[in-house]
Amino acid sequence: MIDVLRHPGFRRLFLAQVVALVGTGLATVALALLAYDLAGERAGAVLGTALAIKMAVYVLLAPLAASFVPLAHRKAVLITLDIVRACIVLALPFVTDIWQVYLLVALLQSASACFTPLFQSLIPEILVEERDYTRALSLTRLAYDLENLLSPAIAAGLLTLVSFHVLFGGTSAGFAVSALLVFTTVFPQAAAPVSQQRPYARAFRGMRIYLHTPRLRGLLALHLCAAAGGAMVLVNTVVIVRGTLDGGDPQVAWALGAFGGGSMLVALLLPKLLDHVPDRGVMLTAALTMTLGLFATTLLWMMAPNWLGWWTLLPAWTVLGMAYSGLQTPGGRLLRRSARTTDLPSVFAAQFSLSHACWLVAYPLAGWLGAALGLGAALAALSIVALAGLLVAWRVWPKHDPSVVSHHHPELPLDHPHWSDQAGGTDAGHAHVYRIDELHSRWP
């Protein structure tokens, strides 16, 4: 899998992603502890609100960011956004009220909502071979897992020596190093745009491609399942560890690390597995695991609360992390199969926005419901959400899902350029790699 790092452009971008995400992971731990410091037992509600603000910003800004930024200016924009994020995060240690947390989170995540889709859309342009791209996706998944595993481990060590406020400085340093690595990366030459559409039209185009492609509709439902498990872990771990298990700040970090460890384990195994097993089978299995894991934890919490302890929490969080990685990692492969290169920035932005709409549902359920009715109610609600995502994905993503699809164009004249661009000069038996575009407005 690490062979893909031989490509210098991807290697630098991957390192930039790693250092930025390790820093972000430190901020995740610090933000949870800051919320507990400000709100006590209602920290889950505060975190749920802060993360819901983050998701709302992602949903609204991500599609427009990729559409407004010219391809030739992506490097300058990415560097600027990294610097902006580094400056904003330095203000978090000085907050004294909850509303200040919400404001800074909104500003920080506005920059991230613009940064991430642009960054993700570069990878398939740099790695044009499917095999390399698959392994890059797994490495990218590992980078995200570092946010959930390595960062909590580093945080746990640092918290024995310093206050959690210092962790925000590590986040700022991560963004600064990321900016430097992006600056030294040679970007692929920008392809000519398909059309001279306005930014809003390009944003809508990405959404239309996404929502009209069956496999991507299934992917969206699976994101809902992933968000259900991830939100429970990220929002309520600090409440469970500090409130129920009487743990300290380092124990919060280790519990979050269990989730990241499970996710990293699966990410290491997926490249070889995806060479032999279709994406649909892997992702539906992961969704089933996530759903069963949430239901089992719910039953344990409600029926045998005395059994809850470290020996149940850590395995449960590990299983949820494994399922989470199985749901998230193959997604980029589906996007690449479903859009032309020139449409990838808009489609990745649509994916970023729509997937985070799922988190916009899950975070308030985990935080607000947990604070109002108890963690058992939050677990039950998120279990039902995960089950809904699994069932919808199984229904809308067909088992037979080839890339090359036979279809007809009765509306096209025989001298239309499309016939010469594709195999077959007439409408009879016309087949090629099918993607939603101007000539293919709906799935056959």
- Please tell me whether residue 397 adopts helix, strand or coil conformation: coil
Residues in CB range of 266: below 8 A, 6 or more apart: 286, 321, 322, 323, 325, 326, 329
Residue with tokens 């570069």: 122
Which single residue is written with the structure tokens 């809508």?
204
3-state secondary structure of 405: strand
Average pLDDT over residues 365-386: 90
Which pLDDT does position 379 carry in this prediction?
93
Whether residue 36 is predicted with pLDDT greater than 70 in this model: the reply is: yes
Q: Looking at 165-174, 186-195, 382-391, which range is the least confident one?
A: 186-195
d(CA 117, CA 97): 31
pLDDT (tens digit per residue) in 62-109: 666 655 666 677 788 889 989 998 998 888 888 888 888 888 888 887
* Burial of 420 per CB tally in 10 Å (0-12, 13-18, 19+): exposed
pTM score > 0.75 for this model?
Answer: no
Q: Are 167 and 158 in contact (CB under 8 A)?
A: yes
Q: Are 41 and 175 in contact (CB under 8 A)?
A: no
The DSSP symbol for 366 reads I
Q: Check residue 367 and give its pLDDT.
A: 86
What is the fold, at CATH topology level, of the domain defined by 2-396?
Growth Hormone; Chain: A; (1.20.1250)
* Torsion, Cα of 319, 322, 327, 333 (10° steps): -170
- Residue 94, judged by CB atoms within 10 A of its CB (0-12, 13-18, 19+), counts as exposed
φ, ψ of residue 394 to 5 degrees: the values are -60, -30
CB atoms under 10 Å from CB of 173, counted, come to: 17
Q: What are phi and psi of 195, to 5 degrees?
A: -150, 170
For tokens 């972000």, what's the residue? 24
Q: Which of 6-10, 140-144, 196-200 has the lowest mean pLDDT?
A: 196-200
Which band of pLDDT confidence, cut at 50, 70 and 90, is reported for residue 283? Answer: very high
Percent helix, strand and coil across the chain, each to the nearest 5: 80, 0, 20
Segments making up each domain of the chain, as ranges: 2-396, 404-433
